[in-house]
Amino acid sequence: MTRSGDAGLEPADRDRRRITIVVAATNFTLYALMALGAWAAWGGLQEAVDHERSTIGVIADGLGILVINLAYGAAVLAGTLALGVVRRGWAARVLVSAGVAAVASLPRMTALVAVSSTPVSTSYVLGIGLLGFFSGVVGMLAALFAATLVERARTETRRREVEAGRARRAVEALQDEELRVRRLVFDQLHGTLQYHLVSVTAGLDRLTEQLDAEGARARAADLRGWAEVLEEIREQDVRSLSHAVFPSGADLGTEEAIQLLLQRLPPQVETSIELGPVYRRLAEGGATPMPVAERLVAIYTVEEAVTNALKHGHARAVRVRADAEPTDDPAQWVFTAVVDDDGTGPARPDPPLHGLSRHRERIENRGGSLALGSNPDGGGRLTFRLPFVAAGDR
């Protein structure tokens, strides 16, 4: 429910007003306690003890001093807010605060002098009067300044959130465009180009058969050699390039794509993949919980880890284990992967990442982490954590 004093104010003005009230009330409460201490220090407490007949009377005088100063602070706060200082410039804030404090100081001093134990010396009255006036002005201006700082901090936070949102949407748009281009190039390589190469190879085979039938065996052998070269290009170069653009099985799921890349390894390399129960539960019903962008990062990272294990660690066995971990956000998950091998392992605690460096950069840009080290058996171990939003929650 909006208070009547906040009616007609913009949300930012209402926030500044509330912060001003809290800070000013704190300032004036502290001042009231300080004024009570000044009353006791200037002999007011002793005066009350000397002239009052009971302890209750002494306490009543002290409470009276405290209440008068609290009422003064409340009057300054209410008066300045009533004159709309929240929406004014600093020059107007200073003038309004000083004017209200000056007006409120007159009844304050009258009430203080009326308390029988108040010291009546000119220096006390003048000092406590000026102190009250300046405390009223400074207390209000400090509260307004604090409210301004808080509002600026909130504005800056909102601006950064807006900029972060724009940057995030721009990155997502670039990722979507990259995926679209990858799929387009993959389709052209895997479909159109391979179809043309197969058609040309089939035509060369027919010409070879025709030349064999005509007795031109030398020319037939040449054509057969070129046909074999084209078939090798299709099977190795074009397939490898299409996989580099968009991994085989990536549209089916992370596990399927990793299985396919492991199956392409030489038969003498022992491979296995183990997907944990949490990720399997997310993937129930044939779903692919990890979005394609993160899925590609995970697949390429595992592929590079396997490549490094074979090339630099001379491994003969590779084991991939992966799972998902929940976070405080029900839609946010973390894909965790461990790639172990039986190779020589890193030669030092901080080994070079070789081609993994660019994958670590991509993972860290998404809030994850990547580390390369040794497993308990002495081989290499690559671990990475990749946050993702479940596809069904996007």
Per-residue pLDDT reduced to its tens digit, 66-88 = 898 899 889 999 998 888 888 88
Q: Which residue has the tokens 């990858």?
A: 182
- pTM to 2 decimals? 0.53
**H-helix segments, the chain:** 11-41, 44-51, 55-82, 90-114, 122-187, 194-214, 217-232, 239-245, 254-263, 277-282, 292-311, 356-365
Q: Which residue has the tokens 């991509």?
A: 362
382 has a pLDDT exceeding 70: yes
Percent of the chain with pLDDT over 90: 20
- Least Cα distance to 87 among 12, 5, 7 occurs for 12
Q: CA–CA separation, 318 vs 310, rounded Å?
A: 9
Least confident interval from 27-41, 296-310, 323-337, 377-391:
27-41
- Mean pLDDT in residue range 91-111: 89
What order do you get walking across the sheet with 369-374 strand by strand?
Answer: 270-275, 317-326, 332-341, 380-389, 369-374
User: What are the residues whose beta carbons fall under 8 Å from the beta carbon of 81, sequence distance 6 or more?
Assistant: 5, 17, 20, 21
Would you place residue 2 in the very low, low, confident or very high pLDDT band (cuts 50, 70, 90)? very low
* Beta bridge partners of residue 273, listed in sequence order: 320
Per-residue pLDDT reduced to its tens digit, 7-58 = 555 666 777 888 888 888 888 888 888 878 777 776 666 666 666 556 676 7
Least confident interval from 10-14, 57-61, 320-324:
10-14
Q: CA–CA separation, 280 vs 387, rounded Å?
A: 17
